[in-house]
Amino acid sequence: MISSFDDLLRFARAQAQPQRLLFVFAAAGLPDDATPEQRERFQSGQGGTLTPLMCVDKTPDELGTFEALREESQQFGQAWDLVFAAAMSGSAGRGPTSAQAEVPLQRMVESIKSGGIAGFIAFDGAGQPVQLE
């Protein structure tokens, strides 16, 4: 059970095969034509839309802490609300390369755009897991 970003890193480092972690940073919002009910739900922390802003892949060893990932993301000047994470497993003792992560990262972005978030772990700006419905 992953209950923090640090758990994700520990779990990834403990795998038999080297891992590459995939991250998509997203902003939560409302469409311009949102109804008053939708706006009220959003203000109470429910509903809304997710817009992917940027993505990156890292090996677990390239990440020390969630704080380091957050600081790196701030260099791009885009405020985000959630970061979605997934992992790619290597084989034969070799981890996936950044080039091999390109297509899966783009699939993650497209999935998030269409609301398909079930296969990812979401973290808030403090590195705590978020349960989305």
Q: Which tens digit of pLDDT belongs to each residue from 61-120?
A: 998 889 999 999 999 888 999 999 999 999 999 999 999 999 999 999 999 999 899 889
Q: Within a domain: residue 33?
A: yes
77: left (phi over 0), alpha (psi -120 to 50) or beta: left
Q: Within a domain: residue 117?
A: yes
Q: Within a domain: residue 84?
A: yes
Q: Is-contact 12 60, C-beta < 8 A?
A: yes
pLDDT recorded at residue 133: 66
Q: Within a domain: residue 64?
A: yes
Q: Within a domain: residue 133?
A: no
Q: Which residues of 20-29 are buried (b: 16+ CB within 10 A; e: fewer)?
A: bbbbbbbeee
Q: Which pTM value belongs to this model?
A: 0.90
pLDDT recorded at residue 91: 93
- CB hemisphere CA count around 29 (13 angstroms): 11
Q: Within a domain: residue 58?
A: yes
Domains held by the chain: number: 1
Q: Within a domain: residue 34?
A: yes
Q: Which tens digit of pLDDT belongs to each residue from 12-62?
A: 999 999 999 999 999 988 888 888 888 888 888 777 889 999 999 999 999
Full domain range(s) for residue 65:
5-127
